[in-house]
């Protein structure tokens, strides 16, 4: 993305974008002062064990997003490095291994989620958690649903979230909507989130930017985050 071009410019017609702007949607929420990074579902099940075109990737894992995921992993790694350098919280909400009792409405829509082998649940090596970082297994889309995420964030006085991972239209969007409802400011680096559908990715980024969070490239996010103060390690619960 160059200049002021947005990921959705080729998908959302100009007149629709103008209507949103006239309605006052899409204003900047800002970055806050105490951010945490959510790395959502960056497991081999969502990218495959190597970069592959999407239709090849889903032969290995039906939940894979293929090459789009690997492109985002490089940007997610940049964010992870910054947050570790600054000693800010890095949290890994991730898909818990599915067992029989997880059959439900979600698996009825996406039966492939019940057929992922154990190695698919491993974290992608380039952005894998380090000892002491918070792992949050989840069974639904939102990183907040059925997890203690909000409790940890409040305990650390976190006021804003940088949300990376996948999918843009699913777990990322659901988590950002819940974060907004809980009054956390969110930043979604547009090239550090990914989806199996480029169209769905673009449309959901437009929706997120219009209503729930600030959407900028990773490079811009890092520029705005870097001047913020470091956390003390003891500020984050283990």
**Strands 160-166 vs 134-138: parallel, antiparallel or unpaired:** unpaired
Over 195-234, what HEC string results? Answer: CCCHHHHHHHHHHHHHHCCEEECHHHHHHHHCCCCCCCHH
Locus of tokens 């492939």? 112
**Residue 118: predicted pLDDT:** 86
pLDDT digits (tens, 9 = 90+) for 13-44: 999 999 999 999 999 988 899 999 999 999 99
Residue 234 has pLDDT above 60, yes or no: no
For the chain, what is the mean pLDDT?
A: 91
> Dihedral of the CA atoms 70, 73, 75, 79 (nearest 10)?
180
pLDDT digits (tens, 9 = 90+) for 65-113: 999 999 999 999 999 999 999 999 999 999 987 655 555 555 556 656 6
**Residue 2: predicted pLDDT:** 46
Helix-, strand-, coil-residue percentages of the chain, each rounded to 5: 45, 15, 40
Identify the CA nearest to 201 among candidates 191, 210, 211. Answer: 191
**Under 8 Å between Cβ of 232 and 87:** yes
Would you call 171 a catalytic residue per the annotation?
A: yes
Instruction: For residue 38, list its beta bridge partners.
Output: 91, 163
Residue 56 has pLDDT above 80, yes or no: yes
> pTM of the entire structure?
0.91
148: left (phi over 0), alpha (psi -120 to 50) or beta: alpha
User: For residues 116 and 62, what is the distance between their CA atoms, to the nearest angstrom?
Assistant: 8
pLDDT top residue among 101 and 212: 212
**Under 8 Å between Cβ of 140 and 94:** no
Residue 233 has pLDDT above 80, yes or no: no
**Residue 4: predicted pLDDT:** 73
Catalytic entry in 65, 166, 171, 180: 171
């Amino acid at each position: 993305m160059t200049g002021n071009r947005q990921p959705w410019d080729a998908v959302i017609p100009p007149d629709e974008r103008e209507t949103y702007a006239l309605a006052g949607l899409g204003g900047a929420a800002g970055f806050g002062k105490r951010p945490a990074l959510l790395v959502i579902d960056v497991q081999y099940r969502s990218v495959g064990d190597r970069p592959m075109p999407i239709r090849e990737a889903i032969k290995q894992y039906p939940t894979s997003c293929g090459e789009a995921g690997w492109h985002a992993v490089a940007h997610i790694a940049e964010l992870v490095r910054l947050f570790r350098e600054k000693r800010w919280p890095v949290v890994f909400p991730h898909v818990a291994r599915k067992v029989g009792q997880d059959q439900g409405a979600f698996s009825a829509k996406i039966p492939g989620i019940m057929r992922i082998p154990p190695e698919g649940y491993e974290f992608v090596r380039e952005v894998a958690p380090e000892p002491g970082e918070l792992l949050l297994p989840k069974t639904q889309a939102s990183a907040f649903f059925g997890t203690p995420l909000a409790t940890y964030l409040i305990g650390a006085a976190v006021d804003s979230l940088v949300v990376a991972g996948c999918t843009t239209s699913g777990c990322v969007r659901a988590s950002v909507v819940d974060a907004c409802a809980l009054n956390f400011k969110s930043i979604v680096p547009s090239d550090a989130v990914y989806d199996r559908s480029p169209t769905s990715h673009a449309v959901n980024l437009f929706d997120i930017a219009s209503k729930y969070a600030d959407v900028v490239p990773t490079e811009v996010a890092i520029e705005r985050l870097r001047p913020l103060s470091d956390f003390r390690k003891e500020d984050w619960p283990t």
